[in-house]
Amino acid sequence: MQKIKSLMTRQGLKSPPESLSDLGAIESLRVPGKEEFRELRDQPSDPQAEQELINSIEQVYFSTDSFDIVKYELEKLPPVLNLQELEEYRDKLKQQQAAVSKKVADLILEKQPAYVKELERVTSLQTGLQLAAVICTNGRRHLNIAKEGFTQASLGLLANQRKRQLLIGLLKSLRTIKTLQRTDVRLSEMLEEEDYPGAIQLCLECQKAASTFKHYSCISELNSKLQDTLEQIEEQLDVALSKICKNFDINHYTKVQQAYRLLGKTQTAMDQLHMHFTQAIHNTVFQVVLGYVELCSGNTDTKFQKLQYKDLCTHVTPDSYIPCLADLCKALWEVMLSYYRTMEWHEKHDNEDTTSASEGSNMGTEETNFDRGYIKKKLEHGLTRIWQDVQLKVKTYLLGTDLSIFKYDDFIFVLDIISRLMQVGEEFCGSKSEVLQESIRKQSVNYFKNYHRTRLDELRMFLENETWELCPVKSNFSILQLHEFKFMEQSRSPSVSPSKQPASTSSKTVTLFEQYCSDGNPFEIQANHKDEETEDVLASNGYESDEQEKSAYQEYDSDSDVPEELKRDYVDEQTGDAPVKSVSRETLKSRKKSDYSLNKVNAPILTNTTLNVIRLVGKYMQMMNILKPIAFDVIHFMSQLFDYYLYAIYTFFGRNDSLESTGLGLSSSRLRTTLNRIQESLIAMEVSADPTATLTAAEERKEKVPSPHLSHLVVLTSGDTLYGLAERVVATESLVFLAEQFEFLQPHLDAVMPAVKKPFLQQFYSQTVSTASELRKPIYWIVAGKAIDYEQMLLLMANVKWDVKEIMSQHNIYVDALLKICQRQEV
């Protein structure tokens, strides 16, 4: 269209006017008639050639109307004019003009039907306007008639009625304003009653009413006062929200949430709640530790209140360390329990809101769902955040004091509290408590290394002072009866097998939060967790009870009760009729009483040292059970206890005599390998005199224990005692009993041992524990080899005349000698 306007300008025509002032110019334009358009269209033409002519028109012709075409063409003329070139250029312009004119004619003829149709629509519109003018005229005429029909009195009546209605409305407004002026008193009462939803609802209604009457001058001041009251309510609401962190109350929290919902600030409330929980954790731990520090310092100096929490923890005394830790965990439990109950409240009310939304209207559902989703994500994220804060606070407390100063029982007590706290954390947010585990693991390993080294030295002392006498225990003795193994009975139910337990109890485990949700505290148990039961494992004089001892004496009141085997020991060896010497009934009863205690009761054979090792194993397992991350270190130290005991038994009774080499020859290759491994890894040998090896040997000796020495009270060289047969039997069988107890504990050790370390446990049992019974052969063989002088017996047997001519009334000399040896040994 712009091209057409420019071409019309070149032909001396003006572009279409944009205002009514140019209508005269339009009328002066010469518009080709239909005949001329038809002639232009009827002329033979080549459309492609015409389009090329139009395209060849210079772009400047399509510029604005202010463009002067004549001036432009004159400026283009060369300095020297050529008539022929001018005529050719003029012909070209005429051809371009003809092409443009023909194009314009085509476009006009093409739009002719639309022009006719639009003209008809204008004519129709003119007719409608004329009809509307007639209707308006009639209406005015009827209004004049109505005006003349009403009297002035009727209009006055209507005016009075309208005034009455206005006055009634004004009276209602004044009563409302009077009520609004008195609302501040009611709002104060509702805030004192902690009725926050009601107070906010009333305040919002008053603000709405005040906005209705804002055209009254007295309302502006009231509106400002209501706004201040609403801000005051929000401040008190924030304080009420902070109280939830330490003592959750369902009714209180429900009111607070309803109030924030009325304010439309549920998301803000959740953000504030998490800030309050974080602040509550900090304030709680600080106040607990500060209370103990001030109590132990004996003064209330404010210098402690100005300390950072980390520095404050270093002022806790060892005597108050454990009570402070227990109270610290109790206080943190209250905070986490409040958060747990807060999540429960939201889960319950979200379900109720979802049900009511599905049954009712859908208005505001999207916004409600968005708020609900935000709160849910915030609460889930807050679980980990709060637990991390708790871990950091407890870790800081643990690092404030060196735990190596505590006794074993106190250290176990600390570990038990931390273990319970980690259990709380795992149930709270599913976290493995990496922060606490790493902190307590380092201290536990260091503590346990020193503790284990001390116990190994004590074990060496026990072994060197052990006389290897039988420790009298009951026939039904079990390590589970010892105080150190009580935790194993508490962790299982021996009376009811898992298969026989009710399905409900086996399928669902009650968590600590479910158990102590309404009352109690899991850390209150720790304060009184001392087993006051006495151990009833020792027998009295070899008998399990006084009644058993009395019945044993009654069995041998007569000589008839003495067994024939015992009588034969005191029959004349030559005649067989009279005893060699008189044996009193008391002697027989005392000897038979000893046989009864050993043979009839069938009590386990163990010594005081064996019992001490078993107790140590129980203590080690307590630590392992409380702190499973150090299970491998604990089991490794337990294996060293067994290794050292086994090596001591072998050292005392397997090689410390003249038949050592022969006894060792009876040992299996597996036993020899085990002994060599123990000697290389655990036993500290004599220090080398080489000065270059002194430093290396000193480093190795830190991890090793000197080889024990047999007590001088134990005599293994006397034939009267069968070269210490009794001591050998007690020592060897106590080792076998200890191995049996390790085998009994294997399932429990296997359950807590990390998977990557289980090959070590399997190797320990297969190569060490299982070889304990193999020590019997080399130890007992030494007695068998020394008890009888075999060379002398061979000489006596060689002097016997084996010609049987008559039945002798007495034994041969070698038989009498053997009987005397056996008789002496029996005595």
Residue in the block written with tokens 């923890």: 313
Distance, in Å, from the CA atom of 729 to the CA atom of 716, rounded to the nearest integer, reads: 12
For 449-495, give the DSSP string: HHHHHHHHHHHHHHHHH---PPP-B-TT--GGGSGGGHHHHHTS-TT
The predicted structure's pLDDT at residue 234:
86
Q: What angle do CA 527, 530, 536 make, to 5 degrees?
A: 175
What residue type is assigned to position 267 of the chain?
A: Q
Specify the range with the lowest mean pLDDT, choosing from 304-308, 687-691, 696-700: 687-691
Instruction: Give exposure, 311-340, as e/b (b: 16+ Cβ within 10 Å).
Output: ebbebbeeebbbebbbbbbbbbbbbbbbbb
Q: Once rounded to an integer, what is the mean pLDDT over residues 506-523?
A: 76
Residue 329 contacts residue 420 (beta carbons within 8 Å): yes
> Lowest mean pLDDT: which of 11-15, 179-183, 681-685?
11-15
Contacts with 102 (C-beta within 8 Å, 6 or more apart), sequence order: 40, 41, 43, 45, 50
Nearest to 605 by CA among 751, 698, 740, 724: 740
* Mean pLDDT over the full length of the chain: 77
Q: Is the pLDDT at 447 greater than 50, yes or no?
A: yes
Is the pLDDT at 688 greater than 60, yes or no? no
Write down the pLDDT at residue 328.
93
Which band of pLDDT confidence, cut at 50, 70 and 90, is reported for residue 496? very low
* pLDDT surpasses 70 at 42: no
774, pLDDT greater than 50 = yes
Give pLDDT, residue 43: 59
pLDDT top residue among 242 and 568:
242
H-run or E-run covering 507: helix 503-507
pLDDT number for residue 531? 46
Residue 684 in 3-state DSSP?
strand
214-267 pLDDT per residue, tens = 666 666 677 777 778 888 888 888 898 998 898 888 888 998 888 888 888 888
Residues 6+ away with beta carbon under 8 Å from 399:
313, 439
**pLDDT confidence of residue 136:** 94
For range 125-139, the mean pLDDT: 93
Is residue 45's pLDDT more than 60?
Answer: yes
Check pLDDT > 50 for residue 588: no
- For residue range 594-611, what is the model confidence (pLDDT) as tens digits? 443 444 447 889 999 999
Band of the pLDDT at 706, cuts 50, 70, 90?
very high
pLDDT tens string 606-665: 999 999 999 999 999 988 888 888 889 899 999 999 999 999 999 998 874 444 444 445
CA pair distance 159, 299, nearest whole angstrom: 86
**Tens digits of residue pLDDT in 265-296:** 888 889 999 999 999 999 999 999 999 998 88
Looking at residue 752, its pLDDT comes to: 86
Res. 551: pLDDT tops 70: no
Residue-level pLDDT at 698: 58
pLDDT value for 561: 41
| pLDDT greater than 70 at residue 160 | yes
Determine the pLDDT at residue 518. 78
3-class secondary-structure state, position 62 = helix
35 — pLDDT class (breaks 50, 70, 90): low
The pLDDT, as a whole number, for residue 555 is: 42
- What does the chain come to in residues? 827
For 340-398, the pLDDT digits (tens) are: 999 999 888 877 666 555 555 555 566 677 778 888 899 899 899 999 999 999 999 98
Helices (H), 182-249: 183-192, 196-212, 217-242
124-134 average pLDDT score: 93
509: which 2 tokens? 């485990």
What is this structure's pTM?
0.63
Partnered with residue 579 across adjacent β-strands are 571
End-to-end CA separation in angstroms for the chain: 142
* pLDDT at res. 31: 46
Is the confidence at residue 337, as pLDDT, over 60?
yes
Burial class (CB in 10 A: 0-12, 13-18, 19+), 158: exposed
Q: What is the pLDDT of residues 168-194, one digit of tens each?
A: 887 887 777 777 666 777 777 887 887
pLDDT band at 468 (very low <50, low <70, confident <90, very high): very high
Hey, what long-range contacts does 202-211 have (CB within 8 A, 24 or more apart)? 203/229, 203/230, 203/233, 204/230, 204/262, 206/180, 209/176, 209/180, 210/180
For residue 133, pLDDT over 70 is answered with yes
Integer Cα distance of 370 and 350 in angstroms: 12
- The pLDDT score that the predictor gives to residue 584 is 41
- The fraction of the chain above a pLDDT of 90, given in percent, is 23
